Structure 1
Amino acid sequence: MSEKPAEADVPGTLLPKRQLIALFGALMVTMFMAALDQSIVGTALPTIVGDLQGMDEYTWVVTAYLVALTATTPLYGKLSDQFGRRRVIVTAIVIFLIASALAGISQNMWQLVVFRGLQGIGAGGLMTLSFTIVSDVVSPRARGKYLGYFGGVFAVSSVLGPVLGGFFADFDWRWIFYINIPLGVVAVLAVNSVLARHPAERRGHKIDILGAALLVPAVVSLMLALTWGGGTYAWSSPTIITLLVAAAVLTVAFIVTETRASEPILPLRMFRKATFSLAALIAFIFGVSMFAGMVYIPLFLQSVRGYSPTQAGLMLLPMAISVVASSVVVGQLTTKTGRYKPFLVAGSVVTTVGLGLFSQVHVDIDLTVGAAYLVVLGVGMGMFMQPLVLAMQNIVSVEDLGAGTATNNFARSLGGAVGTTALGAVMNSTVGNRLEEQMPAVVQELTPEQLQQMRDSGFSGGDLESPAVIDRLPGPVQEAAQLAFTDAMDRVFLVAASIAVVSVILTLFLPDLKLRGDVHTPKPSDDKARADDARATKQVLAGPFSGPRAPPGPTLDARHGP
C-alpha cells in the first residue's frame, strides 16, 4: 500500500517541495539522456564504422533510433493515460538502459543498428512522459517556469552531443552508450520513489491493439521514405513510392479504426478543439525550422570554416545558452501572467528573424557576428518551445493529457524529419549546381600537382560525398566548394525562414486563453468546458484579432492559481 501523500507546500503543485525537486531532477536526467542520444553518435560514427567494419550500415545507426523514437511516441502517451505514468516511464527507462548496455557491447554494425532501434523505443517514452508527469503535478499556470528548464536541457544536450561524441570516440566509443547506465539508474530510483507516493487514478485498461498495429508501421513507412528519399533511393523509385503509398493507406486505416475504438491510441476528439489542432500544426512547422539550425549550422562550421565536429559543437554554445536563458525567463513570465500566446507570437517572430539572418552568411563571416546570429535564433527557439506545449496541455482533459503531450512531440519530430529531408534536397541541389557552374573554369587553372591532389581527394568535380573531402582539396577548388556550400546554406535558411513565417501567422490565430490555475483538468463530458472549446473555435475561425481575450468557464479559470 502506498504511503499517504505529504501536504503540498508549493503553490500550484500537488507535491511538497522536496519531492518536487527530486522528481523534477530525475525527469530532467531522463530528458537529457533521450535528447543526447540523438546527437552524440554522429561524431563518433566514423570511429565506430572503422572498428566494426560496416560502412554499408553507416546511416542506419542514426535512422533506426529516430524512426523508433518517432513511431512509439504516441503509444507511450496513451499507455500512460491508461496504466499510470510511473510504471510506463520506469519501463521506458529500463528498455533504454538495457539497449544502451547492449549497444555498448555490439560486435558488428547490425547488432548496433538493432540495439539503437531498441534505444529509440525507450527514448520515445522518456521524452513524452517527462513533459506529461510534470503536467500531472503542476498546474498549467505554474507549469511554465518548470517546463522552461526542459527546453534548456534539450538545447544543451543537442550542443554537448557532438562534443561528448568526439571525446568518447578518442577514448572508447562504447562509453557513448555506457554513460547512460548510471544516469538511468538514478532516474529510475528517483521517479519510482516519488510517484509511488502519489499513485495515479485507476482507469479502464483496454489497449487499442489494432490502432497500434496500424500506427507504428504507418509512421515507420513515412520516416523511412523521408530518410531514404533523394539519397539512398530516388524519389521516383519503387521503394520510396511503395513506402509513401503504404504510409497513406495505413494512416487512413488508422483514422477509421480510431473513430471506432473505445480507448483509442490517439483520441481524435482532441483535434475537434481548435486550439489543440492549430498548436499541433504549429509544432510540425516549428520542427521543420528548428532542425535547420540544429543540422545546417554545424555543417557550415565544419564544411566552410574547417572546424572539427567537437569544435563546431562548442561554437554553438551561444545558441544553447540563449535557449536556456529565454526558456527560463519566458517560463517565469508565463507563470506570472497566466498567458502563453504573447510569447508564442514573439518567439515565432524572433525565430524567423534568426533564420533570416543566417541566410546572409558568407565564407569569411566574423565569428562575433555569427555568435550574435546564434543568440537571436536561440532566444526565439527558447521563447517558442514550452509555451506551445502549454497551449496543447491547457485545453485537453485529464484523460488525454499523456496523448496530448505525445502529439506535440510527435508533430515536432515529424516536422523535423520532413524539414531535414526538404532542406537537405535544397542543400544538395544548390551545392551541385554551384559546383557544376564553377568547376570547369577552376579546373583549367590548376597545376598538374593540384590536379593530382584533387584526384587523390576522391573529388572529381561533381557532387561532394562528404564535407571532410574539402580539407583535402587544392586551394582554388577548396574555395569554390566553400562558396558552393555557403550559397547553399543561404538558400536553405531563406527557405526555412519562409516556412517559419507560416508559424508566425498561425500563432496569431491561436485564442488568447488564460492558463488554468488548478492541476486537474475537466473531463470531456463537462458541458461548460465543451462550450468554452466551441467559443475558442469560433475565435480561431473569426481571425487572430477578434473575440474575447479570455473566455470564461472552468477550463480557463485561474482564480486558484499560485
Structure 2
Amino acid sequence: MASTTIPPDDHSRLLGDQNEDGDPPIQTYGTQPEPEDDHHHKNPDSPYLIDATRTKFWFIFGPILLQYFVAMFDSYFMASSHPVITSYFNASNSASWLSTSFMLTSTATQPVFGRLSDTIGRRPVYLTALVGFMVTTAWCAGAQSIGSLIAARALCGIAAGGVLSMAGIMTNDLVKIEVRGTYQAYINLLYGSGAAFGTAFGGALCDTIGWRGAFAIQIPLILFITICAYINVPSNLGPQLAKHSSLTVRQTIQQFDIAGSLLLMLSVALLILGLNLGGNILPWSNPFVIGSLIVSLIAGGVLVWVESKALRPVMPLAMIASPPRSNIVLSNFFSMIGINHILFNAPLYFQAVHSDTPSIAGFRLAIPAVLTTICGVSTGFFLTYTGRLHAPQIAGAISMLSGAVGLSSMPRDVPMWIATALCAPTGIGQGLMFPATTLAVLAISSVEEQAAMTSTLMLWRNLGTVMGVAVSSLVLQNTLVQYLEKYITGPDKQAVIEKVRKSVRAVLELKGETHEQALMAYSDALRWTFISAIGFFVVVNVLIIPVKLPWLRKDRVAANVEEDGEYQD
C-alpha cells in the first residue's frame, strides 16, 4: 500500500517543543498509510480515527470496556480465591500454577494475535478470541481435578491474550493519541472495577454460589460482548496487510515469528517449572529441576538470537534496547513482579495469619483495587489536560515502594485496619504509573510502531505477572518449609507440615500450641515474600526517575521539514 510522510498531526505523536525538564523534545515521527478505507476519520475535529457518530463509536467501544471488566474480574477473582480452589482439590502447594498457566499462555500469544490482526483484520481475530474465552471459561467451571483446571486456565489464557491485545490495539485504531488519556481513563475505570469486584466478591461468591458458579456467571457477559462485537466492529478495521499487499494470507502468516513465540513460551515455562518445583516439591539438586533451569537459559539465549533475525519479531529487541522506551518497558516488568508479590500473597496473609474467611480477605483487598481505579481514572484525565507523562510515573513508583516497605515492617499482631491500609500504596502506585507509561511509549514511537509497541508493553507486563507469581511462590514455599521445620514440634510434626502446606484452611483446624506455631511460620514466610518485593520496586524507581519524556499537548507541536522527510526539532 502506498504511504506518505505526514506532519505530526492527528496520526502521530503530538509532542511539545520541550520535555518536562525543559530539554528539547524527543521526536520520532513516522509514516502513516494513506486512508484507503472509509473507517479512517473524515472530521479533523473529531476525537475518533474512524468515520462514526458518537453513538456508533460507543456501540464499538462500550463492549470493549465491558470486556476489560470481565477479564479483570476473572484474573483478580483467581488471585483472591485460589486458596479456596486449591484447598478444594487439596493442592495448595500448586496454587501458583492456576495463575501462571493462564499468564504464561496469555503472554506468549498476545503478540501473535496482534500480528495476525495486522494481516487479516481486527474483527475476525477479535471474534475468534471472544468465542475461545467463553468456551474455556465454561471448562473452568466444570473442571473435575486440579490438573483439568490448570489445563483449562492455560487455554483460557490463550483466548484472553487475544481478547486483551485486540482491545488495546483496537483502541489505538479508534481514538486519536492526544485524547487517548481520556479514553484510557474509561478503560482504567472498567479495568479497576473488574479487579475490585473480583477481589472483593471473589471470596463471597465462593462462599455462596461456589467457585464453579463464579466462573459460570462470566459466560453470559462474554456472550453479550461477542454478539455486540459481531454486529458493530467494522470489518475494515486495521491495516489488513493481506488485502492491501501483493502477499497472500498464507505468505503473510508465514512471516509470523512462530519460532520466537515457541521459544518464548518454552523458556518462560521451563523457568517457572524449575522455580516452582525446586525446594517445593523436588529438592534443588534434582536433575529435573536443574535441567529445567538450564534449558530455560539456553532457550532464552536462542530466543534473543532468533528475535534479532526475525522479520516481524514477537519480542522486538529494538524497542527495548535503548532509553527511554527500555526504561519504561522494563519498569513495567519489574513493577508487575513486585505487585504480584503482594497481590498474590495478601489473601494468604489475611486467611492464614489472621484467620479471615475468603469473603473478608477479599473485601480487604478491595480497598487497593478501588484506589487503583480512582488513581487510574484520575491519571487518564490528568494526562489529557496537562500532557505531563513523567510526574505520575515517579509518584507511582515511589508509592509502590513505600507499600512494600510498610508490609514488610508490620508485626504479626498489627491491627487489621493497618494491615489492610498498607496494601493500598501498591494499588495507588499502579493506578498512577501504568496509564502514564502506556501513553508514554506511544508518544515516543512512530505511527507504524505503535501496534507493535502496545503488544510489547503488554508482553513485558504479563511476563512480570508470571514471574511475580512464580518468584513469590518460590520465596513463600521455600521459607514456609524452613519455618515449619523450625517451629512445629510434636510426634506428628511431618504430618502437620504436609497438611498445612496443602491447605491454608488447615491452619484453622490446628489446636493449641501447634496452631500458634503454624501461624508464626506463615507470618515469617510471608514477611520474606513482601521483603523480596522491595528489591523489585527499587529497580523500578532507578529506571523511571531519570527518564526524560516529551509533553503530550495538541497546542505544542514543533516540526521542521528536512529534505529526507524526517521531522527535526
TM over 0.5: yes
- Asked if 1:494 is matched to 2:534, the reply is no
Q: Secondary structure at the match of 2:233?
A: helix
Instruction: Provide the residue aligned with 2:48 in structure 1.
Output: 13
1:187 corresponding residue in structure 2: 225
Residues 288 and 152 from structure 1, CA distance in 2 versus in 1: closer, same or farther, beyond 3 angstroms? farther
Greater alpha carbon shift after TM alignment, 300-309 vs 232-241 = 232-241
- 2: CA distance between counterparts of 1:47 and 1:137? 41
The Cα offsets for residues 280-299 of structure 1, whole Å up to 9 and x where unpaired, read as 21111101111122112211
Q: Distance in 2 between matches of 1:300 and 1:46?
A: 11
1:65 aligns with 2:102: yes
Deviation at 1:316, TM superposition (A): 1.3
- 1:390 offset after TM fit, Å? 1.7
Say yes or no: does 1:347 pair with 2:396. Answer: yes
Q: Tell me how many residue pairs correspond in the alignment.
A: 515
1:195 maps to amino acid: V
337-346 or 43-52, larger mean C-alpha shift? 43-52
Residue 504 of structure 2 is aligned to residue 467 of structure 1 = yes
Partner residue, 2:324: 275
2:343 paired with 1:306: no
The residue type paired with residue 110 of structure 2 is T
* Contact persistence 1:427–1:488 (CA under 8 A): yes
Is contact 1:225-1:244 (8 Å) kept?
yes
> Per the alignment, do residues 371 and 217 of structure 1 end up closer, same or farther by CA in structure 2, a change over 3 Å counting?
closer
Shift of 1:152: 4.4
* CA–CA distance in structure 1, aligned partners of residues 544 and 90 of structure 2: 49
CA contact (8 A) 2:108 2:261 kept: no
Contact conserved, 1:221 with 1:246, CA < 8 A, in 2? Answer: yes
How many angstroms does 1:41 deviate by?
A: 4.5
Residues 191-232 of structure 1, C-alpha deviations (whole Å, 9 max, x = no match)? 344431663223253433443343333333334334434323
Q: Identity, % of aligned pairs?
A: 26
Larger mean Cα displacement after TM superposition, 69-78 or 430-439: 430-439
Distance change >3 Å, CA 26–CA 439, structure 1 → 2: same
Q: TM-score, normalised by structure 1?
A: 0.80
- Give the Cα separation in 1 of the matches to 2:499 and 2:139: 40
1:19 and 1:79 map into 2 onto residues whose CA distance is: 26
Letter in 1 for 2:194: S
Q: Paired residue for 1:176?
A: 214
- Tell me whether 1:320 sits opposite 2:357 in the alignment: no
Which residue number corresponds to residue 200 of structure 1?
Answer: 238
- 1:93·1:184 contact (CA, 8 Å) conserved in 2? yes
Q: Contact 1:41 / 1:165 at 8 angstroms: preserved in 2?
A: no
Q: Go from structure 1 to structure 2 and tell me whether the alpha carbon gap of 1:10 and 1:473 turns closer, same or farther (over 3 Å shift).
A: farther
The structure with higher relative contact order (CA 8 Å, sep 6+) is: 2
Task: For 1:49-198, list aligned pairs within 5 A.
Answer: 61-106=98-143, 110-161=147-198, 163-164=201-202, 166-168=204-206, 170-171=208-209, 173-196=211-234
1:215 aligned partner, one-letter code: L
Distance 2:355 2:349 in 1: 9
Structure 1 residue 527: Cα displacement: 6.3
Question: How much has 1:65 moved relative to structure 2?
Answer: 2.2
3-state SS, counterpart of residue 418 of structure 1: helix
**Uncovered stretches (5+) of structure 2, i.e. residues with no partner:** 1-35, 246-251
Q: Which residue of 2 aligns with 1:247?
A: 296
Displacement after TM superposition at 1:494 (Å): 2.7
Deviations 1:233-269 (A, max 9, x none): 3344322333233333333333333333333333333
Question: Which residue is 2:454 aligned to?
Answer: 405
Q: CA RMSD in A?
A: 3.6
Which structure 2 residues correspond to residues 290-439 of structure 1 after superposition, within 5 A? 290-439=339-488
Pairwise CA distance, 1:329: 0.8
Contact kept in structure 2, 1:90 and 1:188, CA below 8 Å: yes
Question: In 2, Cα distance between the equivalents of 1:48 and 1:467?
Answer: 11
Amino acid corresponding to residue 518 of structure 2 in structure 1: A
Q: Is the 8 A contact 1:131 1:147 kept in 2?
A: no
1:219 alignment counterpart:
268
